[in-house]
Amino acid sequence: MCRCRFFLNHQDADYAVNHLGVKPDRAYVFPNGIPDEFLNLPFEETPPNPSIIRIAQIGSYVQRKGIDYSVPALSRVLAKYENVRVSLLGTEPPTVGGGEALKVQADFDPSVRDRVTVIPYFIHKTLPDLLKGHQINLFPTLSEGFGKTLIEAMACGLATITTPAPGPMDIVQDGQDAIIVPFRDTQAIEQALERLITDRAYLDQLRRNAYATAQKYSWQRIAQERLTVYEKALAKRGQR
């Protein structure tokens, strides 16, 4: 019997070892993967200044995803830069009566709402198409065990702004393929967005590095790594 324990990030694994009695040699970290159709997509070049810049925020429109801090930052950025557009994708599932998009747009200043697109729900395989023409992914989560949409957006060539939550911290490196901002910090989010909007060379650098990082998350590679752990456990059992 394999007594291995699998975790999605290293912080959870360390907690299990230090506080729950899991033996270090039985704690393994395995990330989730992304579908093959998200891998090796054509890379869209960063448009020259002052072309339209599009920012995407993917995920449920709930406090845990950091909307209390991202929406004010996005509103101020939209007010300052007329060439910026914002898309909020997958804010919530369809409900009786609808109106989800209008409810989200109502949180933005009236002067910028016409540049805010809300898609409450979408079919997962269509995400790469929905992200075409976007360059920045805002992922200001307050709690995240992994962050699959983070990698999916990176695979679509988007530079990421995120927080030091356990999941993202296992995926990205600050200044390499993402900008990491403190939790609950609207000003830091705004400053990070402005840097990417105004510094196209830096934006392009983060986009390309994020795209390269995402290619490592194929299900085939992750499944093979987990299979290797099972094989080693079986070998040890046979030796006993």
Q: pLDDT tens for residues 188-239?
A: 999 999 999 999 999 999 999 999 999 999 998 888 888 888 887 777 766 6
Dihedral sign for Cα atoms in the order 194, 195, 201, 203: negative
Q: Distance (Å, rounded) from C-alpha 74 to C-alpha 69?
A: 9
pLDDT confidence of 114, banded at 50, 70, 90? very high
pTM value is: 0.91
Cβ-contact 229, 4 below 8 angstroms? yes
75 and 143 assigned to the same domain: yes
Q: Which amino acid is at 5?
A: R
Q: Distance (Å, rounded) from C-alpha 54 to C-alpha 132?
A: 9
- Environment class of 240 (CB within 10 Å of its CB; exposed 0-12, middle 13-18, buried 19+): exposed
26 and 47 assigned to the same domain: no
29 and 104 assigned to the same domain: no
147 and 235 assigned to the same domain: no
Cβ-contact 66, 141 below 8 angstroms? yes
160 and 61 assigned to the same domain: yes
121 and 16 assigned to the same domain: no
Provide the number of structural domains found in the chain: 2
* CATH for 91: 3.40.50.2000
126 and 226 assigned to the same domain: no
12 Cβ contact list (under 8 Å, min separation 6): 145, 166
125 and 231 assigned to the same domain: no
Task: Supply the range of the domain harboring residue 16.
Answer: 5-33+218-239
Residue 51: Cβ within 10 Å count: 11
Dihedral, CA of residue 17, residue 21, residue 23 and residue 27, to nearest 10: -50
Q: pLDDT tens for residues 74-112?
A: 999 999 999 999 999 999 865 545 677 888 999 999 999
Q: Distance (Å, rounded) from C-alpha 34 to C-alpha 29?
A: 16
